[in-house]
Amino acid sequence: MSDYVKIFDTTLRDGEQSPGASMNREEKLRLAHRLAQLKVDIIEVGFPAASPGDFEAVKSICQEVKGPVLAGLARTVPSDIKTCWEAIKYAENPRIHTFIATSDIHLQYKLKATREEVLEKVKKGVGLAVSLCDDVQFSLEDASRSDPEFMCQVIRTALAEGATTINIPDTVGYALPDEFQNLITLIKREVPEIEKATISVHCHDDLGMAVANSLAGVKAGARQVEGCINGIGERAGNASVEEVVMAIATRHESLGLKTGINKSKLFPTSRLVTMITGISVQPNKAIVGANAFAHESGIHVDGVLKQPLTYEIMTPEEVGISTNNLVLGKHSGRAGLRKRVQEMGYDLKEKDLDRLFEAFKVLADKKKEIWNEDLEALIADEILRM
C-alpha cells in the first residue's frame, strides 16, 4: 500500500460552516490560492447548490486556481449533482463529492427514508456523478453511528457505480480511536473491492479526538484525510490540517507515512484563515498557537538554549514561524513593522498596514518594546473587527 496520505482541505466548505465564518467570494479566492501554495491535494471549494453566491464562488475558484483537485459538494439529489458539475467543470482537475446519511437515526428523522430508498439514491446519485465527472467521491454521513452491515452494502453500491474515493465521516465526533480504526479495518475486510478506490476519513472534534481518529483511520489503511486549517468547522470543528500533517511528519518513523504538504506555509495559512474569518486561534493550540513554541520555565529555557530538541519535537521554522531579534519600539518604521507582521504569518493589504502602523505608534509611545502579543491584539482590534 502507498505511504502517501492525501490531504483534503475543507476549510472553504465545512470550515465555512463554523458559526460566523462565512466568507465572500474574494476571501474564498484568496484562501484557495493559499491552499494551492500549501500544496493540499484536494480543496473542497464549496457546496454549489447551497446558494447562488456559493455557486459563483466555486465557479470563480475553479476558473482561477490551478494545481490541486477542486471538489464541490452535492447531496445525492440529481439537481444538486448537476448544479455542482456546472460550477466545477471549469477546474483543471474537478471532483464531484456526493453524500447521503446512512445511520438509522438520520434515516428515520432527517431523511424519512428506508434503507432500500437510500441504496437507490446512492445508485442513482453516484451513477449520475460518474456520468459527468471522472473523479467522484462518495461520503456516508454519520458512518461511525451506522449499522456496519448496511454501511458495507452502501459502499458496495457506490463502488459498483464507479466512485473513486469512499469517505467515512465521524460526523458527530462520537468515535474513539480504536473503534474508528476497527471500522476502517472492517470495511476493508468486508468490501475487498474497495482496494481499487481511496479510503478517506473525515472526523469532527466534538470529543476532542478528530486528529487522533484521523490518524487511527490512516493506520488502518485510509489514504486521504479531510480537515480544516486551525481545526475550524461545524460545532467543535474538524480535524486540524496542520496537526494531522505535523503528526505524520514528526512521527514518520512510527507511522511510515508522508504527505505532499509544503509545511513552511502552515503558519501563514493559519494566520490568513484567522484574518479572513475573524476566528482567532487559542494561544496553546498545537502547531500554530502563539505559545506552541514558547518556553517559560527556567529549566525549559535552559534546556532549549543548550539544545532545542530537549523540549521541541519540531522547529518553528519548519511550519513557517521565523524567529528574529529585531526589537520593535517607538523608533521603528513601517518597513520593520511590515517585516514583523509578515513573519507572524499575516499578509496585510497596504491600507490595513497603514491603520496598524498608526495604532502601533500610539502604543509604542506608552510601551518600551512592542511584542508579538501586542501586535496580535492590535491586529485583532484594528483589522479583524473592521
Q: Report, in Å, the least distance between residue 99 CB and ligand KIV.
A: 4
Q: Is 238 annotated as a binding residue?
A: yes
Residue 141 interaction partner, one of Zn ion, ligand KIV, none, beta carbon < 5-8 Å per kind? ligand KIV
Q: How far is CA 301 from CA 258, 292, 309, in A?
A: 31, 14, 12
Is there binding between residue 169 and ligand KIV (CB under 6 A)?
A: yes
Q: Which is nearer to ligand KIV, 230 or 332 (CB)?
A: 230
- The closest alpha carbon to 269, from 192, 155, 347, belongs to 347
Q: Which is nearer to ligand KIV, 14 or 352 (CB)?
A: 14
Q: Which grid coordinates belong to 221?
A: 489503511
Whether 83 and 65 have beta carbons less than 8 Å apart is answered as no
Binding to ligand KIV (CB under 6 A): which residues in 108-167? 139, 141, 167
Q: Report, in Å, the least distance between residue 21 CB and Zn ion.
A: 13
Please report where in the chains the cell 475558484 appears, as a residue: 61
Whether 74 and 83 have beta carbons less than 8 Å apart is answered as yes
Q: What is the total count of residues that contact ligand KIV (CB under 6 A)? A: 9
Exposed, middle or buried, 126 (CB in 10 Å: 0-12/13-18/19+)?
A: buried
- Find how far residue 130's CA is from the centre of its chain: 25
Up-side HSE of residue 172: CA atoms within 13 Å toward CB? 10
- First vs last Cα of the chain: how many Å apart? 49
Residue 102 interaction partner, one of ligand KIV, Zn ion, none, beta carbon < 5-8 Å per kind? none
Site string for ligand KIV, 178-217 (x = CB under 6 A): ------------------------x-x-------------
Q: Which is nearer to Zn ion, 14 or 352 (CB)?
A: 14
Q: Is 204 annotated as a binding residue?
A: yes
Q: Is 202 annotated as a binding residue?
A: yes
**Footprint on this chain of Zn ion (rule: CB under 5 A):** 14
Whether 14 and 234 have beta carbons less than 8 Å apart is answered as yes
Residues 6+ apart with CB under 8 A from 313: 250
Binding to ligand KIV (CB under 6 A): which residues in 242-301? none
Q: Which is nearer to Zn ion, 14 or 243 (CB)?
A: 14
Q: Report, in Å, the least distance between residue 14 CB and Zn ion.
A: 4
Q: Report, in Å, the least distance between residue 338 CB and ligand KIV.
A: 38
In the complex, residue closest to Zn ion by CB: 14
- At 94, give phi and psi (nearest 5°): -85, 150
Per DSSP, helices labelled H in the chain are 25-38, 52-64, 78-88, 104-105, 115-132, 148-161, 177-190, 210-219, 241-250, 252-255, 266-277, 298-306, 334-343, 350-364, 372-379
Q: Report, in Å, the least distance between residue 171 CB and Zn ion.
A: 6
Q: Report, in Å, the least distance between residue 69 CB and ligand KIV.
A: 16
Binding to ligand KIV (CB under 6 A): which residues in 2-31? 14
Residue 99 interaction partner, one of Zn ion, ligand KIV, none, beta carbon < 5-8 Å per kind? ligand KIV
Among 103, 171, 274, 332, binds ligand KIV (CB under 6 A): 171
Distance between CA atoms of 265 and 55, rounded to whole angstroms? 28
Q: Report, in Å, the least distance between residue 238 CB and Zn ion.
A: 6
Q: Report, in Å, the least distance between residue 147 CB and ligand KIV.
A: 17
Q: Which is nearer to Zn ion, 120 or 206 (CB)?
A: 206
Exposed, middle or buried, 8 (CB in 10 Å: 0-12/13-18/19+)?
A: buried
Q: Which is nearer to ligand KIV, 226 or 352 (CB)?
A: 226
Please give the full DSSP string across 243-302, using - where no structure is assigned: HHHHHHHHTHHHH--B----GGGHHHHHHHHHHHH--PPPTT-TTTSTTTT---SHHHHH
Q: Which grid coordinates belong to 167?
A: 469517505
Q: Which is nearer to Zn ion, 14 or 27 (CB)?
A: 14
Q: Which is nearer to ligand KIV, 234 or 243 (CB)?
A: 234
Q: Is 331 annotated as a binding residue?
A: no
Binding stretches for ligand KIV (CB under 6 A): 14, 99, 139, 141, 167, 169, 171, 202, 204
* Annotated binding-site residue numbers for Mn(2+): 14, 202, 204, 238
Could you list the residues known to form a binding site, using ranges: 14, 202, 204, 238
